[in-house]
């Protein structure tokens, strides 16, 4: 494989939700950096055959695994399968997530639980399943996908904002626990981007105009603009980054 950036050569990367949207851009970017890719996709989506073929055409060793990221027992089995197939896990990207907009006064409890389970609980479940292998190897990088909304909040997204704020706090705490074992934990908190998840909202011209006006660059980002930040955090170039949240958000939040 003619790697564009071989800084992750032969590293094994697990990407949850890695077959579509931002996750797919991350999977491709990691592959281009030399990594072997294990995509975890949800049961309600078809096997990402075309995406696998694209990775294989690049000369990348890649395989997809169906699993509900909120099911701890299934995830534990899938992570074990990945280790058996690839020989270990060097990088974990907790990318799986859901988004919907509902005012709290209208929100049903199951809606709250669904977002918190997918966007926050899954980070706990998958990280816990991967950690024993990373700790044994005394090496690893975990990158959690948060959101700038975990900082600034927003109307109709109390559940999503709470989940993403939780991801940021989880990142800081886990980073302190596992850095003695040679494992770095960081997060990426993008601004509004054009993905499958936001596509239904983008059709609303008022929603789109509001989002575009909320960022300094005046437009939504793309998944391919976020993925390089993940590659950086997964690499040795980020050796001093521990418990940090990077914000490629076009100026939506400035810290």
Supply the residues annotated as catalytic: 160
Give yes or no for a contact between 157 and 103, defined as CB atoms under 8 angstroms apart: no
Rounded distance between C-alpha atoms, residue 18 and residue 14, angstroms:
8
Nearest Cα to Cα of residue 68 among 134, 129, 150, 145: 129
Asked whether the CA dihedral 212, 253, 174, 124 is positive or negative, the reply is negative
Indicate the Cα dihedral angle 223, 8, 130, 164, nearest 10°. Answer: -30
Residue ranges of alpha helices (H) inside 35-178 are 49-57, 72-86, 109-116, 122-137, 149-152, 158-178
- Please give the angle made by the CA atoms of 55, 69 and 162, to the nearest 5 degrees: 115
């Amino acid at each position: 494989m003619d790697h564009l950036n071989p800084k992750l050569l032969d590293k094994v990367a697990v990407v949850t939700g890695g077959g579509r949207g931002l996750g797919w851009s991350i999977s491709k970017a990691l592959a281009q950096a030399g990594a072997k890719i294990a995509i975890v996709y949800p049961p309600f989506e078809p096997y990402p055959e075309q995406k696998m073929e694209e990775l294989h055409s690049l000369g990348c060793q890649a395989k997809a695994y169906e699993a509900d990221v909120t099911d701890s027992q299934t995830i534990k089995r899938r992570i074990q399968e990945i280790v058996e197939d690839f020989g270990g896990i060097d990088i974990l990207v907790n990318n799986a997530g859901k988004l919907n907009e509902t005012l709290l006064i209208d929100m049903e409890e199951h809606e709250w639980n669904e977002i918190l389970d997918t966007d926050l609980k899954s980070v706990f479940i998958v990280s816990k399943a991967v950690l024993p292998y990373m700790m044994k190897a005394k090496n690893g990088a975990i990158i959690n996908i948060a959101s700038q909304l975990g900082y600034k909040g927003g109307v109709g997204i109390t559940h999503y904002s709470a989940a993403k704020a939780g991801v940021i706090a989880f990142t800081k705490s886990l980073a302190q626990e596992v850095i003695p074992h040679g494992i770095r934990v960081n997060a990426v908190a993008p601004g509004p981007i054009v993905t499958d998840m936001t596509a239904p909202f983008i059709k609303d011209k008022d929603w789109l105009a509001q989002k575009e006006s909320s960022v300094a660059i005046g437009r939504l980002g793309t998944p391919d603009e976020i993925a390089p930040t993940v590659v950086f955090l997964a690499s040795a170039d980020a050796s001093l980054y521990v418990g940090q949240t990077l914000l490629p958000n076009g100026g939506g939040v400035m810290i």
